[in-house]
Structure 1
Amino acid sequence: METKPSEDTFRDLRDENRCSRFMRRFRKFDAKEVFTWKLARTLAMGQGLAGLICGTAVSSQFLATNFHVNTPMLQSFLNYALLCLTYTTMLFCRTGDGNILQILRRRWWKYLLLGLVDVEANYAVVKAYQYTTLTSVQLLDCFVIPVLMILSRLVLKTRYRPVHYVGVFTCLLGVGAMVGADLLSGRDQGSTSNILLGDGLVLLSATLYAVSNVCQEYTVKNLSRVEFLGMVGLFGTVISTIQMAVLERGEVAAIQWSWEVGLLFAAFGSCMYTLYSCMPIVMKRSSATSVNLSLLTADLFSLFCGIFLFQYKFSALYLVSLVVILIGFITFNAVPTPEPSTSSSSSSTCDEGSYDNSVTTDDDIPEQEVSVRVSVEDPEERTKISEPENAHGDFVTVGTRM
């Protein structure tokens, strides 16, 4: 009987402490510390990437509807060939560890797997439209976000705070509003020949995209952006050429070429090439999860373009979805993810591909006490004197390699 009032009192004190902590944090909230120019740049760059994806979607839609051209591997080949022409050539011109021969000698098989993952991720999501509906693709494609967060936690040791999960959940609510608007406007396009296979292809594509993006974030933050793009361009060109020759020989031969078709192919290739070139820059400033959250608005941009180009029906839920996704994106990026604590620092690599080994300074080495014994000539007054001394040592950190 006597313990119950004490438990109630303890519970009340605990609730009061929580409320007081919340009020202190609320009073310390400063909008200027959250809505910074860095956040504005991240938002602008992310929406720029979404606009490039919109350009690839619109050009592909024109090729499919107006000219009956459905060649996803040929379109992917154009992108990888442009990457190979520019960034792989830059790797040939380098010397030392950044040279392409040194990179291939050390980790060629890793980039081969990465190129295969990237090519098949693009192919699987395009192939899924032949078996399932647009609504299923839009919903299941969001599976890339939780997979990305899990892989980032396991591989990159990224630690997320509760506000980051709130931001992700808000973005997914925005996607739900977008899908609801599609259903209300009757835009549930796509095939229903084999929904189970189509949904499986979407989930496979989302998983492969997550693996590719985590590897990309690791490479651009620890090695070099040019190395990543050059290697993906090299192996992506080889893999897409083989797959195109096997799977799309008939479709490519049946294309009726004209200046409009050539212009649409050029527009698709340019948008995809710019997307691949700029995404590592945005990813280095933020994270793979942040980039993929910003890309959720790409479907909305495509819908807005389709209202004028393909006579899609407008719904106010599209605007609501856009606002909700942007709020979730800002919430996610307002609080930076804590940096993982590592025992040794990795080597810093600049975007130009030079591999610089950073030397640890004296300030980075903790002071240690070393006991020094000094003998006095008088044996009767022989004492032991201990005095602190700074133990400094020069060493070079070892860079992380894929």
Structure 2
Amino acid sequence: MRCAGRHDLCTEHSEQDVEAENKGHSGARQMLISVALGQVLSLLICGIGLTSKYLSEDFHANTPVFQSFLNYILLFLVYTTTLAVRQGEENLLAILRRRWWKYMILGLIDLEANYLVVKAYQYTTLTSIQLLDCFVIPVVILLSWFFLLIRYKAVHFLGIFVCILGMGCMAGADVLVGRHQGAGENKLVGDLLVLGGATLYGISNVWEEYIIRTLSRVEFLGMIGLFGAFFSGIQLAIMEHKELLKVPWDWQIGLLYVGFSACMFGLYSFMPVVIKKTSATSVNLSLLTADLYSLFCGLFLFHYKFSGLYLLSFFTILIGLMLYSSTSTYIAQDPRVYKQFRNPSGPVVDLPTTAQVEPSVTYTSLGQETEEEPHVHVA
């Protein structure tokens, strides 16, 4: 045999080949999991869109602030109360003493992002909203680059380009089939509202990623529930109380509000889980398919016209997602990102406050986490 006399060497090569093959299978599996998790979020957004459409068009219930208020109340009841009963540094009062003003700003940003995009439907066309809403992607990329220090590779930008190309294909299909385009009475105002909402969404998503990686998911959702409920309640009383009185309440409308709130609560609760396993950029790319799921449902519910371009758009976006998820991103060396980091050959190491060491932290959208992320308390 060719390996006679070199059994140890052959065994070593064999083990290396098996290990490389296992890593390849694991990477492919994690890529598919990453894409699948993003599609769960898209389906939840599809449910949000369908219930909102029925409420506004069939029952003339134009209450976007009230709908957001219901979601924030659910977050408050589940997550804020969880923080309230905790002990020590993770207690609600302790968190408020240290970071109340930061979460107050985040709550306002999240509330107004939802409001601006929903409001834009009254002024501009559906196609414009679909295309301009993609502005959230470059916002997330830039903020992640400068504030989270995430660095991308060429394949990531290729995947992003392919995803946006798929969205353009869908917008073109809408024009060809003459799908309902919206009022479009003051298009410039509507377009500016979409761009403003997309910018606020990007800020909120990147801030969310930072919090869930350095603090905790429950803290983020609890604080969003607290300040979101407070500010949406004020906005509801000022701007929407008359609209709420006009709603023709019956069991169908009640069921639609329940369905909307359940989908929105599921989206807010599950999104931090997906962001932690992937990234804010990956999540926003995944959400591009939400409009397509709504369209496919509309083929049966609202008798939309079908075009083969819709299928082409769907698979183009999925290909872009797989391209983006096929390679890991990484974090630039900077001790300001995390005060603790995982030593590849040992346990978690605490950096001294005066240390000049710059840890190399690898951020991956694919790798399995073998242990809980360390909690870092940020002043």
Structure 1 residues 21-40: aligned runs within 5 Å: 32=24, 36-40=28-32
1:90 deviates by 0.4
Matched with 1:393 is none
Q: Does 1:312 align with 2:267?
A: no
Q: Does 1:222 align with 2:214?
A: yes
- Structure 2: distance between partners of 1:53 and 1:127: 17
Q: How many residues align?
A: 335
SS in 1 for 2:212: helix
- State TM-score, norm by structure 1: 0.80
CA contact (8 A) 1:141 1:202 kept: yes
Q: Does 1:48 align with 2:43?
A: no
- Structure 1: distance between partners of 2:335 and 2:206: 22
Deviation digits for residues 266-316 of structure 1 (CA, Å, limit 9, x no counterpart)? 000000000000000000011000000000000000000001001111111
SS in 1 for 2:151: coil
SS in 2 for 1:336: coil
Amino acid at match of 1:99: N
Deviation digits for residues 24-58 of structure 1 (CA, Å, limit 9, x no counterpart)? xxxx9999358522112111110000000000000
Matched with 2:376 is 399
Matched with 1:175 is 167
Residues 1:117 and 1:137: Cα distance change in structure 2 (over 3 Å): same
Q: Does 1:262 align with 2:239?
A: no
Q: Does 1:103 align with 2:95?
A: yes
Amino acid at match of 2:376: G
- Structure 2: distance between partners of 1:189 and 1:398: 47
CA contact (8 A) 1:124 1:201 kept: yes
Q: Does 1:115 align with 2:92?
A: no
Matched with 2:339 is 346
- Structure 2: distance between partners of 1:336 and 1:31: 13
Q: Does 1:279 align with 2:268?
A: no
Aligned-residue RMSD, C-alpha: 2.4
1:398 deviates by 10
Residues 1:133 and 1:29: Cα distance change in structure 2 (over 3 Å): farther
- State TM-score, norm by structure 2: 0.84
CA contact (8 A) 2:148 2:331 kept: no
Matched with 1:291 is 283
Q: Does 1:205 align with 2:182?
A: no
- Structure 2: distance between partners of 1:161 and 1:358: 28
Amino acid at match of 1:200: L
More moved, 184-193 vs 275-284: 184-193
Which runs of no fewer than 5 residues in structure 2 stay unpaired? 1-19, 357-373
Residues 1:143 and 1:398: Cα distance change in structure 2 (over 3 Å): closer
- Structure 1: distance between partners of 2:87 and 2:56: 45
CA contact (8 A) 1:222 1:348 kept: no
Matched with 1:333 is 325
Residues 1:35 and 1:149: Cα distance change in structure 2 (over 3 Å): same
CA contact (8 A) 1:135 1:188 kept: no
> Identity of paired residues, percent?
53
SS in 2 for 1:248: helix
Q: Does 1:75 align with 2:40?
A: no
Matched with 1:10 is none
From 123, 144, 152, give the equivalent of 1:160.
Answer: 152
CA contact (8 A) 1:346 1:398 kept: no
More moved, 174-183 vs 184-193: 184-193
- Structure 2: distance between partners of 1:313 and 1:50: 21
Moved over 4 A (4+): 28-31, 357-361
CA contact (8 A) 2:125 2:183 kept: yes
Deviation digits for residues 368-395 of structure 1 (CA, Å, limit 9, x no counterpart)? xxxxxxxxxxxxxxxxxxxxxxxxxxxx
CA contact (8 A) 1:347 1:400 kept: no
From 178, 181, 194, give the equivalent of 2:186.
Answer: 194
1:342 deviates by 2.9
CA contact (8 A) 2:44 2:263 kept: yes
Amino acid at match of 1:289: T
1:401 deviates by 1.3
Amino acid at match of 1:346: K
- Structure 1: distance between partners of 2:298 and 2:22: 40
Which runs of no fewer than 5 residues in structure 1 stay unpaired? 1-27, 350-356, 367-396
From 123, 138, 141, give the equivalent of 1:131.
Answer: 123
